[in-house]
Amino acid sequence: MDAVASRTTTAALIGLLAGGVAVGVGELVAALVRPAASPVIAVGNRLILLTPEPVKRWAIRQFGTGDKHVLLTGIYLVLAGCAVAIGIVAVRRLRLGLLGVGLLGLLGVYSSQTTAAHRVSDAVPSALGVLAGMAALWQLVAAVAPADDGEQTGSGRRSFLAAGLTTAVAAVLGGFGGRALQHRRFDTTAARAAIRLPAPVSGPDARPSASAGAVGNATATNYDRGLTSVPFRTPADRFYRIDTALAVPQIDPDTWKLRITGMVARPLTLTFADLLARPLVERWITLCCVSNEVGGELVGNATFRGVLLADLLREAGIASEADQLVASSSDGMTIGSPTAVVMDGRDAMLAVGMNGEPLTAEHGFPVRMVVPGLYGYVSACKWITGLRATTFADFSAYWVRGGWAARGPVKLASRIDRPVPPGVLAVGTPVPVAGVAWDQHVGVSRVEVQVDDGPWQEATLAPVPSVDTWRQWVYLWTPASAGQHRLRVRAFDGNGAVQEEKDTDPFPSGATGLHSVTVRAR
């Protein structure tokens, strides 16, 4: 390696080490403030607010529930690139390098103060992190400075190695130690484990028995293992998650409060203990993301336990003119729901439990909102801290400002889960074609399957506890000829209306179209 390349490599390393110290110190200080104050998280949250809606939709379509990991990875890569550039500049003109670090720090401070639900103290990690980064850059550049004859001495190289090792250790300990301390100080796992949910005064209709109906292995339904690729009940760790929280909010249930305000006669303030002291109901409810593509997996079914929202709103004396309920999350997210839907007798609730246990942090612990029949972006507010009765004319919630429809009723949909393409099937051997269909709060009355361009054939439906859940179905098909075959599915809602066949994009009010898979028989 020639001298120029060696100096460039050293300069790049200096930049990376200084940047690592800045990020590490920021993470360490964030452990004393709150995880959302982490410089990287603050910048990420700001980027989410600045990202055009089409780009957000593309990210969800491409990466699904992994979109946050992609964003954070991208931020780290950009920071690394900036750090390399700063290092190369700094060994030539230190002041410009220091200015570069300072500008990145200002970006962190600015982001921390312009994200939703920010606090003044959120600026401290970015501010202290950039000061540490500037100090590290100064020290490293000084250590690598050449002697009077332009060549670095042996003692100079040793000085640089010592400085580099020190900053590397500081970066690693700060970064990983800061994250570990954040987890230790703010993690709510222990608080969640200590909660014993009261039994519901009204439980869900019994889950269909394993022998109910000629479904499944052509003779019986197995709901727990699942007729399709997912079971009837979706475990919490497999339930889809679409939100804008880069750092999952960790909320102490002992300090949590919910305020019901706005167009109400008697504003309410409720604690977590207040909710648990009220009558709880438990219901099977399927939730679906409006971004779900035809045949997509951004849908899940679980039991939710909570307090009926309509009872709370009547207690607060909600005004008849208030046609929208705006739910606010601890991370600043706003979600607007039609008041009439919440009050029409369906099991809209403030949920404290999921699948018989307290909510997990990823799904809204300690309290979230659930409204059957609406897409999540207009109903399923996680980490909820406020409910404001207002009107659609006076306020547009977060996703609606991005162009999504204001009211968001779920659309009838169906999906084929088995067989899985490009599965090779045996000619003459019966094959179960199976999947799920849903139209929450309306229900599914019939499902039909089409093979190639043949006639639509009725599938067998599994029983369901209510119209608020998805419905499993199966059609037994025997491939009669070798070659490729296209399988399509369509559903009919509880009123007999057939599923929309025309393909439309999820934006702005949910996708339509018929799911199909192509398999081969031989």
- Measured in residues, the chain has a length of 522
Cis? peptide before 421, omega within 30° of 0: no
**Digit-coded pLDDT (tens) for 493-514:** 999 999 999 999 999 999 999 9
DSSP 288-309: E-TTPPTT-S-EEEEEEEEEEH
Q: What is the pTM of this model?
A: 0.87
Pick from 53-62, 66-75, 247-256 the range whose average pLDDT is largest. 247-256
- Distance CA(223)–CA(472), nearest Å, equals 9
- Distance CA(444)–CA(493), nearest Å, equals 4
> In the prediction, which pLDDT does 30 show?
96
> In the prediction, which pLDDT does 60 show?
82
The percentage of residues in the chain with a pLDDT greater than 90, rounded to a whole number, is 79
* CA proximity to 257, closest of 269, 244, 265, 240: 269
CA angle 20, 21, 26 (to 5 degrees): 100
Residue ranges of the chain that CATH labels 3.90.420.10 = 236-401
Query: What's the mean per-residue pLDDT of the chain?
Result: 91
Are the CB atoms for 29 and 128 separated by under 8 Å?
Answer: yes
> In the prediction, which pLDDT does 424 show?
86
The percentage of residues in the chain with a pLDDT greater than 70, rounded to a whole number, is 92
**Digit-coded pLDDT (tens) for 346-358:** 999 999 999 999 9
> In the prediction, which pLDDT does 48 show?
87
DSSP SS3 for 407: coil
- Distance CA(126)–CA(454), nearest Å, equals 63
* CA proximity to 477, closest of 495, 452, 442: 452
- Distance CA(138)–CA(423), nearest Å, equals 61
- Distance CA(287)–CA(470), nearest Å, equals 9
- How is domain 236-401 classified at the CATH fold level? Sulfite Oxidase; Chain A, domain 2 (3.90.420)
Please name the residue that has the structure tokens 């869900």. Answer: 204
* CA proximity to 221, closest of 207, 203, 235, 238: 207
Residue ranges of the chain that CATH labels 2.60.40.650 = 413-521
pLDDT(219) > 80? no
Pair of tokens at residue 503: 């393909």
User: Longest C-alpha distance within the chain, in Å?
Assistant: 90
Q: Which CATH architecture group holds 413-521?
A: Sandwich (2.60)
Residue 432's φ and ψ, nearest 5 degrees, are -75, 120
- Distance CA(154)–CA(160), nearest Å, equals 10
